[in-house]
Structure 1
Amino acid sequence: MRHSLLSTFFLLLLHLPFSLLQGKKRSCFQQVIHDVFRDGDLIIGGFFPLYSVEANIFTGLEHPQKACNSFQWMHKNYQQVLALVFAVENINQDLNLLPNITLGYQLFTTYHSDNKTLESSLKWLTGQQQAIPNYSCWAQDKSVAVIGGATSPLAVQMGSLLELYKYPQMTYGPFDPILSDKIQFPSLYQMAPRDSFLHVGIVHLLLHFRWTWVGLISTDDMRGEKFLWDITKKMSRNDVCVAFIEKIPVSERRHAESLVPFMPRIMASSAKVIIVHGDADSLMSLRHSQPLFLIPLKLWIITSDWDVTLRPHPYGSHAFHGALLFKHQTSEVSGFSHFLKSVNSAKYPADIFLKSFWHSAFKCSDENLEEGECSPNASLEDLPLEYFDMAMSGLSYSIYNSVYAVAWALQQMLLIKTEMGFGGDGESITLLPWQVHSSLRNLQFNNSAGEEIVLNEQRNIEAKYDIMNYLVFYKKPELLVKVGQFIPKTLLEHDFTISRNSIVWGDSQIPPKSVCTESCSCGFKKIAQEGVPICCFNCVRCPEGEISDQRDMDHCTKCPEDEYPNKNRDHCFPKTVTFLSFKEPLGLTLTCLALSFSFLTVIILVIFVKCQDTPIVKANNRILSYILLISLTLCFLCSILFIGPPTSAKCLLQQTVFGIVFTVAISSILAKTITVVLAFKATKPGSKMKRWMLPRVSSFVVFICSMIQLALCCIWLGTSPPFPGLDTHSEPDQIIIICEMGSAITFYSVLGFMGFLALGSFTVAFLARNLPDTFNEARFITFSMLIFCSVWMSFIPAYQNPKGQAMVTVEIFCILASSAGLLGCIFIPKCYVILLRPERNTLEWLRQKADSGRC
């Protein structure tokens, strides 16, 4: 068969390293390079990674023996071979699929090595043990497709060569968007489901267990970069931080690479949860780097592409005890489990891979292997999980579907050729590999498990995952226990379930904590640290009046106005509604004081009325004394309006009654003071002041002042009257019902007018304090006004600071104190004379004092 000059030159270049190594490395690999062949009308090639081989660089200068490569069986991968065999046998027995045509296969091993993979591909094309470019003794007539590419690098290595001959290549490894490029890989078909939502499921698992500080391990290739990009972006949106990222090179593996100190860096990290993304081939150095004595210090979250049970030493799995695996969900293929139980070395005597596998898995001696008596009654189900898994893996399921996809494509082609008249009268039908593409590109069928298989990669289904718990117990077989699942539907819709109680953790009974900073408890909030990830933060207590009722709150929230935070600042409790009540000790005390002072004032009034004709009562206008005593009585009683539950009527009366009665009292004192001054002036001969000494003049002063205050109160009530209000801020655990003043301007105008009258009375009384008169009240009025002004001058600033009950108490105290000052300074001295020194309250005593004063 002839090919283009360019193809020949390309293959000669590819084959050049192999021809240089043929005589030198044949002895080292002759026991593992042999292929397995089963003849048929049409042949499917299968390439499977059955061995872990250390690929050393051979320059041609080393001794051939020193260039030998050690290899190990990757036992569990042999299920992939059996999946292909099972599918081929089922198709050959199916009378409806490819009738009168048998499928055969030729199996090769692949290694994570460019030259060995290309060498195997050349042998497939050549059909002989020695790879001869552009030569084929039989393969070109029978070969229809190749199933291979457990990993993306292997698929690329094989595809670059097989594409020259347009062979359909069915890759069963993890889905890689790069391989979907039909311009670069037009003959390659990916059978695995898409992993577009794998990172979403992993982040959901992290959030479920509150793991916010995790490490990432991935392969240093485009697929690994895409995974890292997707998961870090999803993690950042959910406030999950990356503690470290380790990228493992995917170049040709050497055991010496396990000495790269990335494992010490991983173990030294404070992150307790490690996410591993990659496949069994590319993560070989991670398997080799596991120390035999390593105890489970980390929790591993492993994607389905890496089988944790594949390891170079028997005790390395203990480091992964308790790991959680995202495993592809696969439909159950009928008959596959029974087929695996029936497989033994006697059933397929020509399968050298099976003999070698049997010898290694069941630890047979070399003598038994040569005699063919290696555990003849053994079964694959007797092997532990580290050697073989009876459950069909995701890779095996893709291989099974690949074989059927080729069969259905061939069935369509044969039907078309038969309808066109080819193959009649015993004429054999010739199929060329490139002709299969027309049927494969849009192939759609249902497999034996009832699942729809679509080869259009744009319509590939999204993978569904079982969350498995990997368990390794001392002297017991390894186990994979399903503890949950993740079924993506859309970007926002999915089904995530996990059974916390079913999970067995490493050496603990509880899930590990993987956080950069311990969680902030309730009552605290997070404060980010500058220059560090958001997961590393400080915890500070919520400010006064705010709470956080959940852990790791970014902000504290204020309680509603009718609630208050507890001491720990993690809950809000309803506030109690309070007011200055008569039943409280403070309210009861103030009420008793008000009643006592008012009663005392009434007694003094009775005394003055009874002794109204005595000189001391008649002095300074007894009518004004009566008015003053009555107004002081009302002043004492008006303080009771401030006690008890505030109502609209109370709020209207409190300030207005207080303002009017106090104005009457102060204006009466002002009138008394003016009377004293006028009385002294009127005693001079020819004075014109006598006409102002009439009683109605003093009453007119009281009336005018009272009317002015009444007008101010009416303006207050007409514009913005006082009203009941709620004080929710003065006391943290109480809502205090108070009377809001309404208009502050009119309130302070009322107070200001009373202050103006008091200041006027104080000034006049102070100037008249030394006038020579027997019953001169100016001195007592001066002291009373001094007390009055001191009390109310202190009230104004004190009224601004306290709130709630304290504000009400301050005002009541000022009312009582100022009223008591007026009563005591003006009337107590007179009562002393009336009750205890009656001899001074006579006209004779007055004359004697006046005569002695003139002497």
Structure 2
Amino acid sequence: MGLGKLRLSPSILFVFLILQIFLTEYQMVKNPCHIERSFNPTYRKEGDLIIAAFLSLFVKVQLPVNKFFFESYPIWSYALPRSMFKQYHYFLALQYAVEEINKNPDLLPNTTLGYQLLNNFHLEKLAVESSLIWLSGRGPIIPNYSCDTQSNSVAVIGGMSATLSMAMATILKLYKVPQISYGSFDLLLNDKAQYPYIYQMGKEQSTLHLAFIQLMLHFDWTWIGLLLSDNPRGESFFNDLKEEMVRNDLCVTFTDRLPQNFRESKDLDLFFRIISSSSNGIFIYGDADSLHEFSTELFSYKLYGKLLITTSWDFSIDTNFEVFPTFHGTIVFSHTQMEIPGFTNFVRSLNTSVNPEDIFLKSFWESLFNCRFSKKSDVEIFYPLCSKDLSFRDSLYMNIDMALMELITNVYNAVYLVAHALHQMLHSEVKEASKLAKNLDLPWKLHHFLKSMNSVNIASDESCEDGTKPAAETYDILNYKFVPGKIETMVKVGEVQPLAQRFTFKEEDIDWPEDFNQTSTSRCNLKCGPGFKKTARERQPKCCYACTPCPEGTISNQTDAEECLQCPEDQYPNRGRDRCLPRTVTFLAYEEPLGMTLGYAAICFFLLTVLVLGIFVKHRDTPIVKANNRSLSYTLLVSLSLCFLCSLLFIGHPTTGTCLLRQTTFTVVFTVAVSSILAKTITVVLAFRATKPGSRLRRWLGSTASYSLIFTCTLIQMYLCGIWLGTSPRFLEMDVHSEPDSIIIQCNEGSLLIFYCVLGYMALLALASFTVAFLARNLPDTFNEAKFLTFSMLVFCSVWISFLPSYQSSKGKVIVALEVFAILTSSAGIFTCIFVPKCFVILLRSDQNTLGIFKKKAIS
């Protein structure tokens, strides 16, 4: 039976496999360095001293498999060319820095630096595995066993994130290996008790929260959402940001912590909270690990109308192109980095012929250009062979340096940090590098020199040994743009120095998200415009308020005014209550139509009264003039003419003198007129009663009794006016409250009680005259003067009774006009009712103005 026909039972086959495994393990224990790995994922460039670089060159994601039956191998999904290109930049920065140092005769003279490159696939467990591979040298991973006969490795540069750095530190700190982290600064790694051998190249973002505040104040955003990584770094940032937001009256609509894994429904609800939020601006703060799942889940959710603001976290490293439009328009804060001279040209000039032994460069080249270096037929079917003329200039992803510059600079500075520390150590040890490399304590001793080095701008040798403070933190404001054709770029649109409060922003250079309203702001409600003030809402944050109109007489000339302001006394609010207008000084002037009309009426009535007085004087011997005491008629006409003239004191610009004279003159003159009417009325009654022979009433019919009555009544009124002037005189004032748009110059009446007493006394005289005249209206008077006196007093009383309520309800110059109108109307009423009928008889019916007619009517 041939061997090809030989069949082994399953039990025999199992025993055979066990023996083979046992023999292999025995050989490994006996001499593990003789066992070579089929694939050694490392690339090494020799030198006197070696720097190890643990980079995330390929990001691998393990797809789920059936863990219960193990029916298939784990399937790995490798990174896209775009992601690989970004990651490979970090190794290129390492390579470029090492070449620069080796060419520099003043730094590490007579010593060459080499490097060893390992890939941790951005996974913690593979980072630990890479650490063991580096410590073991060649062959399988055997803890505490090194296959390298020449241990010239001095330090490790690695840790794109804090989790990777901590995973590596679990192994490296056992051997006190210096570990320089090139990722963003993290508070956890700053704990020297737990991580004493980790040095961070990332700049501390101590004022990043102030930069966020500056952006909010620039756009006037008061209502934002906040997403934080669920770790101490995110919590510390939130505490600083919240304190500063309270100080600037800014509010957070929601605050959510981003978990590492979005697997539960409560985590997926986060996107619904973001979409339904009323805030248009969403601030995101965290590291790449905590935000990885968030960026990938955004593929299923569209954040309509939301603008994302984040840090230098490169969200496009581990996502696919379909997610990129979601991030279009995102504003990114990044530390201002120095430009590495010549680095861009170095990258663009690379090709596979420079380092043919670089396995990572070949893998990247094949992935970037979709070609293969292998000549296997099964590969050539799908991909062509790579051309030797290709370079990075032909890549579509050359315009992303801005997004990578921070970590690239950190790797570049990390190499120089180790180089400067080695330079100082070589001078202190006074040994050659070859001898120093054989010293197994070399990594331990390097810590002393690393601690004394300044990690800021170490490449340019800018130290702070003179005691000066380092430069203030400066952040570049970048705008992420993704254009059709799968091209992404970062454009610098501004710069901010939080401590110096310097903020520059070019809004014309920014691309907003497609569905983001560029004119809107992230606020809880619209701003309160001029003419309104903010009013707090019950049980609402301070940023959510109502807008209420300013009260009458106040204005607000700015948006979101806390309080409304009073206008100066010489100004008044406009209708919109957003500015003050100059008031117009107003009074009853002669120039305006009302004042001109009243003035002309007063003069006309005065002239007419003087004319009638002249007629009466000319016809003084006629019976109609002699009737009812001729001298009382003269007195009444003179007092009426003065009443018409005193109304002129109320028109024109008031002065202190006119204020003192106008009411006093008016009341005294009117008292004389009303007293004259009372005397004429009494004379009519006494003339009828004294017709009998021997009547004692004849002695009261003379002029003496009538003038005594007029003098007594007038004296009482003058006494009241004297009290008025002595106790509370009238004065000139400016009324700024009656009319909002005017300053009324008027006379203050002083004591209203005395004013009404003066008017009441005059009304009492008028009422007495009206009563007596009304009782004597049917007496057999030849010229029927009693009836005319009754009508005159009726007009007088009606005018002044109507004047009082109008006086109380009016303001400003209307009061003055009403009083002038009442004076003219009442005076004209007395004049018309008493003297017009007599003038009619004197001028037009002179045949009736004879003594014969008088006696004839008296007999009848």
Q: For 2:792, give the aligned amino acid.
A: S
Taking structure 1 as reference, are residues 258 and 64 closer, same or farther at Cα in structure 2, changes over 3 Å only?
farther
Q: Show CA shifts across 1:668-706 (max 9, x none).
A: 334434445555666677766555554234323333443
Determine the C-alpha separation between the residues in 1 that align with 2:520 and 2:434: 74
Match of 1:399 among 398, 411, 424: 411
50-59 or 341-350: bigger deviation:
50-59
Q: Equivalent residues in 2 for 1:115-514 (5 A)?
A: 115-127=125-137, 130-138=140-148, 142-235=152-245, 237-238=247-248, 240-250=250-260, 260=268, 262-263=270-271, 265-291=273-299, 297-298=304-305, 300-365=307-372, 367=374, 374-385=386-397, 389=401, 393-418=405-430, 431-444=441-454, 447=457, 450=460, 452=462, 462-475=472-485, 477-488=487-498, 490=499, 493-507=500-514, 511-514=518-521
1:629 corresponding residue in structure 2? 637
Question: Following the alignment from structure 2 to structure 1, what is the Cα–Cα distance between the partners of residues 79 and 190?
Answer: 32
Change (3 A) 1:219 1:390: closer
Q: How far apart in 2 are the matches of 1:845 and 1:115? A: 143
Q: Report the CA distance shift for 1:337/1:197 in structure 2 as closer, same or farther (over 3 A).
A: same
Mapped partners of 2:698, 2:484: distance in 1: 123
CA distance in 1: counterparts of 2:266 and 2:105, whole angstroms: 52
Contact 2:624 2:849 in 1 (8 A): yes
> Aligned match of 2:56 in 46, 49, 54?
49
Matches within 5 A, 1:20-169: 34-54=41-61, 61-63=68-70, 65=72, 67-73=74-80, 74-75=83-84, 76-110=86-120, 113-127=123-137, 130-138=140-148, 142-169=152-179
Task: From 820, 823, 836, give the equivalent of 1:812.
Answer: 820
Distance in 2 (alpha carbons) for counterparts of 1:31 and 1:366: 20
Is the 8 Å Cα contact of residues 559 and 572 (structure 1) preserved in structure 2?
A: yes
Q: Give the match's secondary structure for 1:223.
A: helix
CA distance in 1, matches of 2:433, 2:139: 36
More moved, 840-849 vs 796-805: 840-849
- 1:182 is displaced (CA, Å) by 3.3
Does 1:826 pair with 2:834? yes
CA distance in 2, matches of 1:410, 1:776: 137
Change (3 A) 1:503 1:57: closer
User: Per-residue deviation at 1:288?
Assistant: 1.8
Instruction: Give the residue type in structure 1 aligned to 2:44.
Output: F
Match of 1:657 in 2: 665
Mark the CA change 1:668 to 1:437 in structure 2 (over 3 Å): closer, same or farther: farther
Residues 702/439 of structure 1: CA separation in 2 closer, same or farther (3 Å cut): farther
Q: Which amino acid aligns with 1:283?
A: L
Query: 1:43, CA displacement in angstroms?
Result: 3.6
- Show structure 1 runs of 5+ residues with no match: 1-18, 20-29
8 Å Cα contact 2:399/2:489 also seen in 1? no
Contact 2:399 2:488 (8 Å CA) reproduced: no
Q: Which stretch has the larger CA shift, 543-552 or 375-384? A: 543-552
Is residue 605 of structure 1 aligned with residue 613 of structure 2?
yes
Q: Cα distance, 1:631 vs. partner?
A: 1.5
What is aligned with 1:584? 592
Distance change (3 Å), C-alpha of 1:137 and 1:664: farther
Between stretches 799-808 and 773-782, larger displacement belongs to 773-782
Select between 402-411 and 513-522 the one with higher mean Cα deviation.
513-522
Structure 1 residues 245 and 382: CA distance shift in structure 2, 3 A: farther
Post-superposition offset of 1:66: 5.2
CA–CA separation in structure 1 for the residues paired with 2:769 and 2:616: 23
Matched-pair contact (CA < 8 Å) for 1:175–1:193 = yes
Tell me if the contact between 1:149 and 1:173 (Cα under 8 Å) persists in the aligned partners. yes
What is the number of residues matched between the two proteins? 815
Q: Which runs of 5+ in 2 are unaligned?
A: 1-24, 26-36
d(CA) in 2 for partners of 1:78, 1:343: 12
Task: Pick closer, same or farther for the CA change 1:375–1:327 going to 2, 3 Å.
Answer: farther
Deviation at 1:329, TM superposition (A): 1.0
Name the CA distance, whole Å, in 2 between partners of 1:461 and 1:808. 75
CA distance in 1, matches of 2:123, 2:525: 44
Distance in 2, matches of 1:375 and 1:538, equals 68
The answer (yes or no) to whether the contact 1:362–1:375 under 8 Å persists in 2 is: no
Q: Deviations over 1:393-432 (max 9, x none)?
A: 11121222222222323333333334xxx77997766644
| Contact preservation (8 Å) 2:308, 2:331 | yes
2:596 is matched by which residue type in structure 1?
L
Residue in structure 1 matched with residue 647 of structure 2 by the alignment: 639
Shift of 1:497: 0.8
Q: Which residue of 1 aligns with 2:32?
A: none
Q: Which moved more, 1:654-663 or 1:136-145?
A: 136-145
Q: Structure 1: how far apart are the matches of 2:682 and 2:102?
A: 133
Match of 1:26 in 2: none
Single out whichever of 772-781 and 613-622 deviates more from structure 2. 772-781
1:105 is paired with a residue whose SS is strand
- Counterpart Cα distance in 2 of 1:324 and 1:718: 79
TM-score when normalising by structure 1:
0.83
Structure 1 contact 332–449 (Cα < 8 Å) conserved: no
In 2, the alpha carbon distance for the partners of 1:259 and 1:84 equals 39
Q: How far apart, in 2, do the equivalents of 1:35 and 1:546 lie? A: 77
Letter matched to residue 354 of structure 1: L
Give the direction of change, closer, same or farther, for the CA distance of 1:128–1:270 in structure 2 (3 Å limit): farther
Once the two structures are superposed, what CA deviation does each residue of 1:217-257 show, in whole Å capped at 9, x if it has no partner?
33222222333444455445555554444432135x88x99
- RMSD between superposed Cα atoms in Å: 4.2
In 1, the alpha carbon distance for the partners of 2:415 and 2:467 equals 17
Deviation of 1:317 after TM superposition, in Å, equals 1.9
How far residue 810 of structure 1 moved from its aligned partner, in angstroms, is 1.2
